[in-house]
Structure 1
Amino acid sequence: LSEEPLTDTVALQPSGDGLEQTQVPKDDVEALGLLKMDFLGLKNLNILAAASHFVTRDTGRTFDPKQIPLNDQPTLALFARGDTNGVFQFESAGIKNVLRKLRPTDFEDVVAVNALYRPGPMENIDTFIARKNGQEPIAYPDPALEKILKPTYGVLVYQEQVMQVASVMGGFSLGEADLLRRAMSKKKSSVLAAEQDKFIEGAVKQGFPEATAKTVYAYIDRFANYGFNRSHAVAYSMVAFWLAYLKVHDPAAFFAALMNASMNNLPKLRTYVQEAKARQVALLGPDINTSNGGFKLSDGKIRFGLLSVKGMRRDFSEAIFTARKNGPFKDFRDLLQRLEPKWLKADNFKPLILAGAFDSFDDNRAQTIANLDELINSVKLAGNDVGLFSVLAPKPIVVPEMPAGERLEEEANVLGVYLSGHPVDKYAPLKTQYTLVNVVDLAEGRTVDILLLVRHIKRIRTKTGKPMAFVDGQDATGTVSLTVFPNLYPTLEKIETDMVVLVNGRVEKRNDDLQLIVNRIQDAAPLLEALPKAQLFIRLDADNVDARTDLLKKLQTAHGPIPVITVDTTSKESVLLDKRYWVTADTSLMADLESRFGAANVVLRKRQEE
């Protein structure tokens, strides 16, 4: 920015996008006297605006982020669980782990985590958590700094605290302290080193021990590596809190907006689809008569858009929407007759058919495809002449629907996600016996249990001639490679392609991709058959420690073979309790549980047989 024409101060040149740019780098621009400002566009603000719009249009409520209470307990509980996919600044596996350890109890904790999870302050995360949770005494480098560092348990978290320390201990003026802050924010190590003598000298003049001053400045110097300012942390955390609030209180609107922003990022889209399903948000496939281009929300249900179908051209979708202005299409022929002839190509329609966009006309997708070419030819010849079409109309070809597995696979190929279901889904009851993860949740170093559909088995021999194998496994969220070493190779004898298996393995990274080193692999079908025939579900607030303690004590009085699963009232997250809490569901126990937690929150459910 400048008060005068930029050409009076600096040489300019045109950029590729038609804008002017300077011929000197940013530091020189500032040295010439220009004010440099960064403007960052956040797609999260677009997500927030879209979700707010969905809430208003679908429920009639006006959603105003500024009216959200920052002490909202369900939202804070979401942060405490690390349930922050789709939440600005809090999506990485590392920061989720910090949230779970810290368990934020107020907005300030969220702000602190945002500021701490950066290369400089990160070394103090464990100290911050231990002190907050009362596991370590709070200490200060000097009593004079207690007022500054008390809100953050004696830990330096924000750049503003550095300014205050420089003022109180080093005798810096506020202007000098701000120069120190700026040097920190720009990682100017030469300036920081030069300021050290000044800081120590000023501290000694004010009566602080030289050793203490050196210790504090060394602390500041380490913090300077990406130390964050509080004003940024609060602003970022505010946006994060708004999104988290939506995720808790209006999940359908939240996920509809999030999925629109992730249409071109299939890994994230798959994650959000699975999360929405887990929260009981209804997901509907694309429909030729009701879909928009992108995802939309209607009556609490998310409808896939036509542009979510692989290969769908925007101009083709616009042609469909234009034709639809005259009313919904009555059948496939009606659609073809209303479109311009240039669009009447089978390749334009096959992906839509496989995605289910025409299921409202005929849900036998194989039959619709079988009749497609002849129907298009008849419409091309007859045009809008109904009488002529009745003469030229082809005799319908009757074919059986494709097998269920093939139908799901074709649908996933064109949508990028398994929407109607996945072969692994039928084995979900195994969650009562195992703590299962999805492919998208795999993290390096963990040992996990996971259900996978076997897509490919590559059998090889080692240099010593021993057999081993690489297996490609898939669930609804993604694909992972399995390595089966020679000692476990015999267990593959009964494993075949298209079989669902239960795998226990350690997650390792190879060539930047995660893989599973298999400890155990077995056919999941016998495991499903051997499951207990009933499960006891108990709904309660996961953050209510007293209620959970009472429950565990009560369950131990009626030990038996029936698995017990708790369901959090807020997140809907289910947790299988350890076998020592499994029960015999006699009438006395059920009556006690219903009295304590409410009859509607205690359900003994028979397992559905496949």
Structure 2
Amino acid sequence: MKFPNDQFYLRSYQEMYDRFRDIPEALTNTLRIAERCNCELTLGKPRLPDYAVPSGFTKATWLRHLCEENLSQRYPKTTPEITDRLDYELRVIEQMGFPGYFLIVHDFVKYAKQAGIMVGPGRGSAAGSIVSYLLGITDLDPLEFGLMFERFLNPERISMPDIDIDFCYERRGEVIDYVRRKYGENHVAQIVTFGTLAARAAVRDVGRVLGMTYGEVDGVAKQIPQETGISLAAALKDNAELAKAYRENERVRQLLDIARKVEGFPRHASVHAAGIVIAPEELERLIPLQRSGEEEVCTQITMDDIERIGLLKMDLLGLRTLTVLQNARNLVQQNRGVVIDPHTLPHKDPATRNLLSNAATIGVFQLESPGMRRLIANLRPETLEDLVPLMALYRPGPLGSGMVEDFIRGRHGQRETEYLHPLLEPVLKETYGVILYQEQVMQIGNVLAGFSLAEADVLRRAMGKKKPQEIAAMKQRFLAGAAGKGVAPEIAEHVFTLMEYFSGYGFNKSHSAAYAVVAYETAYLKANYPLEFMCALISSVMGSSDKVAQYIEECRTMAIPIYGPDVNYSDAEFKIAESGIRFGLMAVKNVGRQAIELIVSERAGRGKYLSIYDFCRRVPGHIVNKRVLESLIKAGAFGSTGKNRRETLMVLDKALEGGAVRHAEGQLSFFDLAGSDSFMVNDETWVQAEEFPQNELLRMEREMLGAYISGHPLDHWQTLLKKVGAATIAELKEAEDGREQTIGGLVTRIKNVTTRMGRRMAMIQMEDVTGAMEIVVFPDTLVRMQRPPSVDDVLLVRGKLERRDEDLKLLVAQIRILNLKSS
């Protein structure tokens, strides 16, 4: 975007005076208005919407009543540990002034559950609260998993609680609508978020404005490491080649100097994916508002500013996995008559243990990436409890620090776990001496130095945010407290250093435990009810052809038959049929819901379609038109009528003409009313023809369904690809930038490019059974080939992996066409 002129800037006083010389009062009046404006914002004071409680109760006593009411349901055997924990949490919540907050969250979560909307078991630190558990806000027992309330709500630092909730992604909007109805349309709004210019984006945007060539800018941008939060200053410091270019090349220096000035600036505004604000009065009286592109009311200030002024901010997230779980459970009940209660799943189920031990976790929540599957194969988790540390281990910090290797060796008894002091054993035993969780940093402060858990949380936050002054002050208290417990100074010093180091990698155990519960249920359903689970899973990704293809390939691995779409058997969604999964008509390109509803309802009312002629006589062509029918035929959806795809396509125009005549007459004959069997087949003219070749059928399936059903073009080559050690495209998506990689795949698209020197190179889209990516074949590599590659060729290529922002490419050094007879 470019401004139409050079006048878009804040003018100086003199410029404004010169412009309004004839009416100077315009400037003085503006100043008078500004001087009369007086706005004082009260920061930090909670401004919660009012939650009405029954007569005779305060918010605090009603909160206690609800918790105690549910106590026997959650804990059939109540112990002093449970009641003491509940009393402590309620006391802290009341002291901090937040009973209303918990009642508000409890209310809309209760609504969702009563409406049959799937709610996640927990998310973030809220899972560490027994009050949240008793209210049904979370569904995992914090005592069973050893979770800490102070990680969630700390009386030492007064700040609004932060409870994020996952809902079924298809019905999340219903919960937001309920909140709007409850508190008033003008009291609720979505929240703005600003995308900012990261280092690479700043360079690319500035380079475009300066009129530099793509190659010039790209060469500089690629010198900036692909690290989250990397700054241009850090890149110049760490990359000698970039620093040299900055010193010696004036254009590069100008580019980076300007980019550093705009780095971090807001680039665009959008609506936050999950955040909403709920106010005690009309929002327009409290904060600036705007309308988003969808005409939704949205704030003009971000979540952080909303929290600073004390308004209630909630994250209501849509989680696709919850929808998959709910749909899978429904299918199990319909198919097998078994009702699955997620709260009573066995934590040591043999089938689930076998699935996890074999890392057969494609489609399992949080566990399906190639890197995670490699970690699972090494760790060999067996139970729900084993998944909790797994969630915390699979992150860049632990993976690059040696923590993962230490943990795995400890789990398998390959190293003896040592503790710097006996007091640390109860804290670190579950993680084999590794400080893995943020809560462990807090516990160490508690047991070794006598900090209260609230004080230890303050220390954890200071370490995590690297606040030197706070850390230094608390270090002295830590050393003194440890000395009071008889801990040698050098050991206390060493432990504090380790706490500080690992706090940068430590993960929230409450969040790990909550997501481990979701992952375990997903694995349980896949292991015990694979047909129902995979059907629900594929249905949830119908909009992503890559995902559909990946999960169909997984079904083949699991020996689950996949049946193509069929006008006589398919519904809109994927469904279970004949011990396999039948494609839904919604998965066929160009086929809309209205057309599908008509096809299915007509079939339900008057029986199966006997042919394309029969279909066109019964279904109006203005809704199911030629384009829709061509897509259905190419997808194989008329296979059950007894004619092949070529034969059906050859008579399509005649069938449509006959159908148009029949519908134009506006009436049905007596024989028509008797049902499909009475249609006069003598009106049907057919040309006998051989079916399309297999490769053409596969191409049609890929085009219309985004996946191959009756086979895969690479089936013949899989043994060779495995023999040469070719990686899959899915694996490359997690591979290290700049590494040499070998892949094999099918050519689906070629873009020929002419270089400045007049030489030809090619940008080729390649796909395998796991996904698709682009490969770049440079002129020197291209001329060495027997012939240029073509669409449908099967290639084996080797080259250097390149990541450019979100794009992934392979820069090819060697290439071979496998389907050449001489290969």
Fold-level similarity (TM above 0.5): yes
Q: In structure 1, which of residues 312, 333, 346 is the aligned counterpart of residue 626 of structure 2?
A: 346
Structure-to-structure mapping, 1:147-296, within 5 angstroms: 147-180=426-459, 195-225=474-504, 227-296=506-575
2:808 corresponds to 1:513: yes
Judge conservation of contact 1:256–1:295 (CA < 8 Å) in 2: yes
Structure-to-structure mapping, 1:165-564, within 5 angstroms: 165-180=444-459, 195-225=474-504, 227-331=506-610, 332-383=612-663, 384-385=667-668, 393=683, 395-428=685-718, 430=720, 433=723, 437-442=727-732, 444=735, 450-454=743-747, 472-482=765-775, 492-493=785-786, 497=790, 501=794, 503=796, 505-506=798-799, 508-511=801-804, 512-515=807-810, 517=812, 519=814, 521=816, 523=818
Structure 2 CA distance for aligned equivalents of residues 189 and 47 of structure 1: 46
Give the Å deviation of 1:260: 0.8
Three-state SS of the structure 2 residue aligned to 1:85 is: coil
2:398 corresponds to 1:116: no
Judge conservation of contact 2:742–2:799 (CA < 8 Å) in 1: no
Q: In structure 2, which of residues 288, 302, 322 is the aligned counterpart of residue 45 of structure 1?
A: 322
Deviations 1:294-348 (A, max 9, x none): 1111232100000000121111111222222313233223332333452252112
Give the Å deviation of 1:515: 2.0
Q: In structure 1, which of residues 65, 72, 88 is the aligned counterpart of residue 365 of structure 2?
A: 88
Give the Å deviation of 1:94: 2.9
Change (3 A) 1:23 1:167: farther
Larger-gyration structure (1/2): 2
Deviations 1:433-490 (A, max 9, x none): 5555543343535766654334567889999999987665443444444566788768
Structure 2 CA distance for aligned equivalents of residues 45 and 184 of structure 1: 35
Structure 1 CA distance for aligned equivalents of residues 620 and 787 of structure 2: 54
Give the Å deviation of 1:520: 6.3
Q: Which moved more, 1:504-513 or 1:446-455?
A: 446-455
Which amino acid in 2 is paired with 1:509?
A: E
Match of 1:539 in 2: none
Change (3 A) 1:184 1:88: farther
Three-state SS of the structure 2 residue aligned to 1:172 is: coil
Three-state SS of the structure 2 residue aligned to 1:38 is: strand
Q: Which moved more, 1:61-70 or 1:264-273?
A: 61-70
Judge conservation of contact 2:436–2:505 (CA < 8 Å) in 1: no
Deviations 1:350-404 (A, max 9, x none): 1011111111114421221221122112221233545999699464344443222
Judge conservation of contact 2:763–2:775 (CA < 8 Å) in 1: yes
Which amino acid in 2 is paired with 1:57?
A: Q
Three-state SS of the structure 1 residue aligned to 2:417 is: coil
Judge conservation of contact 2:620–2:660 (CA < 8 Å) in 1: no
Match of 2:96 in 1: none
Change (3 A) 1:38 1:382: closer
Structure 1 CA distance for aligned equivalents of residues 317 and 469 of structure 2: 28
Change (3 A) 1:198 1:32: farther
Q: Which moved more, 1:145-154 or 1:466-475?
A: 466-475
Q: TM-score, normalised by structure 2?
A: 0.57
2:7 corresponds to 1:7: no
Judge conservation of contact 2:425–2:433 (CA < 8 Å) in 1: yes
Structure 2 CA distance for aligned equivalents of residues 318 and 184 of structure 1: 59
Deviations 1:205-239 (A, max 9, x none): 43434444444334333444463332321221111
2:427 corresponds to 1:134: no
- Cα-Cα RMSD: 3.9
Structure 1 CA distance for aligned equivalents of residues 575 and 303 of structure 2: 43
Structure-to-structure mapping, 1:12-27, within 5 angstroms: 16=291, 25-27=302-304
Give the Å deviation of 1:280: 0.9
Change (3 A) 1:305 1:469: closer
Match of 1:104 in 2: 381
Q: TM-score, normalised by structure 1?
A: 0.74
Which amino acid in 1 is paired with 2:715?
A: D
Change (3 A) 1:459 1:241: same
Three-state SS of the structure 2 residue aligned to 1:342 is: coil
Judge conservation of contact 1:378–1:394 (CA < 8 Å) in 2: no
Structure 2 CA distance for aligned equivalents of residues 188 and 264 of structure 1: 45
Judge conservation of contact 2:730–2:770 (CA < 8 Å) in 1: yes
Change (3 A) 1:92 1:461: same
Give the Å deviation of 1:46: 1.1
Q: Give unpaired runs (5+ residues) of structure 2.
A: 1-47, 52-182, 184-278, 673-678
Change (3 A) 1:37 1:464: closer
Structure 2 CA distance for aligned equivalents of residues 472 and 23 of structure 1: 41
Which amino acid in 2 is paired with 1:63?
A: I
Match of 1:58 in 2: 335
Change (3 A) 1:457 1:296: closer
Judge conservation of contact 2:442–2:460 (CA < 8 Å) in 1: yes
Judge conservation of contact 2:750–2:791 (CA < 8 Å) in 1: no
Structure 2 CA distance for aligned equivalents of residues 382 and 26 of structure 1: 61
Change (3 A) 1:461 1:81: farther
Which amino acid in 1 is paired with 2:745?
A: L
Which amino acid in 2 is paired with 1:75?
A: T
Structure 1 CA distance for aligned equivalents of residues 447 and 798 of structure 2: 54
Judge conservation of contact 1:110–1:237 (CA < 8 Å) in 2: yes
Judge conservation of contact 2:568–2:609 (CA < 8 Å) in 1: no
Structure 1 CA distance for aligned equivalents of residues 391 and 369 of structure 2: 12
Q: Which moved more, 1:122-131 or 1:7-16?
A: 7-16
Judge conservation of contact 2:746–2:795 (CA < 8 Å) in 1: no
Change (3 A) 1:347 1:26: closer
Deviations 1:49-104 (A, max 9, x none): 11112222223333333443322344234334433221112233332232222222
Judge conservation of contact 1:184–1:227 (CA < 8 Å) in 2: no
Judge conservation of contact 2:781–2:812 (CA < 8 Å) in 1: no
Judge conservation of contact 1:505–1:517 (CA < 8 Å) in 2: yes
Give the Å deviation of 1:149: 0.6
Judge conservation of contact 2:49–2:281 (CA < 8 Å) in 1: no
Judge conservation of contact 2:741–2:801 (CA < 8 Å) in 1: no
